[in-house]
Amino acid sequence: MSDPKVALVTGANKGIGLEIARQLGERGYAVLLGARDEVRGKEAAAALAARGLDAAALQLDVTDPASAERAARQAEERFGRLDVLVNNAGITGDYFGPPSGATARQLQEVYATNVFGVLTVTNAVLPLLRRSAAGRIVNLSSNVGSLALNADLDGEFAAYNQVAYQSSKTALNALTLAYAKELRETGIKVNSANPGFTATDMNGHRGHQSVEQGAVVAVRLAVLGPDGPTGTSQDEHGPVAW
What domains are there in the chain, each with its CATH number?
6-91+115-146+170-239 (3.40.50.720)
Catalytic residue, chosen from 29, 95, 111, 165, is 165
165 labelled catalytic? yes
Which candidate in 29, 169, 179, 189 is catalytic? 169
Mean pLDDT of 107-124: 98
- Asked which of 27-36, 110-119, 163-172, 188-197 is least confident by mean pLDDT, the reply is 188-197
Nearest to 219, CA basis, from 88, 116, 122: 88
Catalytic residue check, 181: no
Q: What does residue 186 show for φ and ψ, rounded to 5 degrees?
A: -90, -15
**Residue 52 CB burial class (10 angstroms; 0-12, 13-18, ≥19):** exposed
> Average pLDDT of the chain?
93
Distance of CA 121 to the CA centre of its chain: 11
In this prediction, residue 205 carries a pLDDT of 52
Nearest-angstrom CA–CA distance, 233 and 242: 7
